[in-house]
Amino acid sequence: MKVKKLLDSFNYAIEGIIHSVRTQRNMRIHLIVALAVLTACFFYDLSRIELLIIIISITMVIAAELFNTAIELAIDSTTNYYHPLVKLAKNAAAGGVLVTAVNAAVVGYIVFWDKLNYINFNVIKKVRVSSPYTIFMILAIMCIAVIIIKAFFGEGTPLKGGMPSGHSAIAFSIATALTLYSGETIVFVLSFILALIVAQSRVDSEVHSVLEVVFGAIFGILLTILLYKIFT
């Protein structure tokens, strides 16, 4: 009996996590970022302390989002009208998630920046001696790849809707290509800001979901880096 109750408690906890992933957009974003960071850990020589800090930071963000979801559901189940205290409670819960997310971003910056700097220097050095026409070749391949993926998922059109966001993929591909080719920090900042604006506009216009935009951005960045590595 005690074993059954213990298993039930685990099942209930897992159901809560799955519900949060299904219904909360921010939880899906946190999990995608967490997977990307954990995958990056395989490619870098991290110490036990660095790995432990990263895992704790990821756990804090996910736990905070779960608490935020629980608070929202509890409040919504007992209140069906606007109340200023309800608004403050939800804002405070969301603020807790924001604090943990900022902390995770700072941890990622401290742990990975020096390692990324070294790799980026080598990549940029190789890219800058390559032909500028490489950028146009990569963009052409990117467009073809997006169309193929859209056809595979059977959603949207080449220019509107569906998985992944073509605009987001191309925008982040251009930003990545310009960054690699120029090697300038200001180009990196400005180009990725413009790419983020493009991605945000696709979500605001309700043409794409956040997941489609995020997938498009990641696909655009990774495919561009891979093609640069091949061509150079």
Q: Cite the active site residues.
A: 65
Virtual torsion, Cα 140, 134, 219, 58, nearest 10 deg:
-170
Which sign, positive or negative, has the C-alpha torsion 117, 123, 127, 128? positive
3-state secondary structure of 157: strand
**Paired residues of 81 in beta bridges:** none
Residue with tokens 């998922």: 153
Residue with tokens 């974003």: 29
Q: Which amino acid is at 5?
A: K
Asked if 183 and 232 touch (Cβ cutoff 8 Å), the reply is: no
Judge if the upstream peptide bond of residue 164 is cis by omega within 30 degrees of 0.
yes
Compute the distance between CA of residue 131 and CA of residue 128 in angstroms, rounded to an integer.
8
